[in-house]
Amino acid sequence: MKKRFILHIDMDYFFAQIEERENSWLKDKIVIVGANPKKGKGRGVVSTCNYKARSYGIMSGMPISKAYKITPHAIFLPVNMKHYISVSMSIFKIVEAIVDKKNIEEVSIDEAYINITNIIKSFKEGKELGNEIKSKILEKEKLTCTIGISENKMLAKIACNMAKPNGIKTISIREGEKIINKMKITTIPGIGPKTEKKFEKYLNKKNLTIKDAKKIKKQELIALIGKKGSSFYDNFRGKDFTSIKSKKIAKSIGKEYTFQKDSKNPKEIISVFKKMIASVEKELMQKKLGIKTIVVICRFENFKKYTKQKKFHLNHYDREILYKEGIPLLLNLIINTNKKIRLIGFRVIIK
């Protein structure tokens, strides 16, 4: 498998942070969002709480009555789900302006995996991109998040959890394998308390670490857990081959190219661009497809991405027509800036 870069983003104490943003007087209070505590008689649970509340041991899923017992002086707020969903949508829009939707897998209201393999070339650049995402969200939504970057989804999430709150962390597979050795086996996504018990029984030991679990052979794991045993075997070794599952988007064919060194040389840029158009056209011809829209993509040295598109209703086209239509769109994007170009792309939406 080709080396990948995966970014995991997760908003910090999401519901509670939104409440703090809207009510500045909450800032240094203990804030708990969840069911009504009804002076300790309330049923239901804590949805989340700010980090001050966490320092008292309050956590998501805890009975609200217990939270009330620990911190009766906390500020208890109801769950305003409608509002949190709309904030979540605004955040995903900000991310989609930086990274292609097709590379984003939303996993929950405040969390996503993003395949950034085509955008960055090193962990250093990954950090720059991550910081760009963090500062855009902070600037536009006044909310902090944490980002983890690695070579697979599992380690990206672990890196993110380690950097919480308001942090950013990169882990290579090599580092990851060592780091997770000391961790509990429940760190592995998919291993909950039930599976943990099975492992404990099998190894006749409590509080198992990943290092302990590595003693189990692959075939034994499969016999113990079933099909998932094989992927857990990889996970214990810092490996995870699962891919990003984005939402379905309009069918399109496209090519993107990242310059070895950011470029300002029009000759080089146009020549690469023409090659991409030619290869897209070849694929269109082979598949006998008509096109609806052409899209030109350009990402500058500061990672900012711009696109221009043009509707286009042709069943018959050739390379020359695509050049004629595509090149002016590209020039339009790059002509008014002196920034260097990092990546260009050409995409057609299929009829």
Q: Which residues are catalytic?
A: 111
CB burial readout 108-131, b (16+ within 10 A) else e: ebbbbbbbbbbbbeebebbbebbe
| In the complex, least distance from residue 87 CB atom to ligand DCP, rounded to whole angstroms | 11
Positions 56 through 85 that interact with ligand DCP (CB under 6 A):
60-61
By CB under 5 A, tell whether 141 contacts Ca ion: no
By CB under 6 A, tell whether 5 contacts ligand DCP: no
DSSP letter at 69 equals H
β-bridge mates for residue 24, sequence order: none
Backbone angles phi, psi at 290, to 5 degrees: -90, 160
Site string for ligand DCP, 139-178 (x = CB under 6 A): -------------------------xx-------------
Which of 5, 6, 9, 15 is in the footprint of ligand DCP by CB under 6 A?
Answer: 15
How many residues belong to the site for ligand DCP (CB under 6 A)? 15
105 binds, among ligand DCP, Ca ion, none (CB under 5 to 8 A by kind): none
288 conformational bin, left if phi > 0, alpha if psi -120 to 50, beta if neither:
left
Would you say 194 and 41 are in contact if contact means Cβ atoms under 8 Å apart? no
Q: Near ligand DCP by CB under 6 A, which window of 104-112, 202-210, 223-231, 272-280? A: 104-112
| In the complex, least distance from residue 151 CB atom to ligand DCP, rounded to whole angstroms | 22
**Could you give the CA distance from residue 140 to residue 108 in angstroms, rounded to a whole number?**
21
Helix (H), strand (E) at residue 260: strand 252-263
Nearer residue to ligand DCP within complex by CB, 50 or 231:
50
Q: Near ligand DCP by CB under 6 A, which window of 108-116, 228-236, 289-297, 302-310? A: 108-116
Radius of gyration over every alpha carbon of the chain, rounded to an integer in angstroms: 24
Do you find a cis peptide bond into 165, omega within 30 degrees of 0? yes
Positions 99 through 138 that interact with Ca ion (CB under 5 A):
110-111
Q: Which two tokens stand for residue 71?
A: 């911190």
Binding footprint of ligand DCP on the chain (CB under 6 A): 10-15, 47-48, 60-61, 109-111, 164-165
Binding footprint of Ca ion on the chain (CB under 5 A): 10-11, 14, 110-111
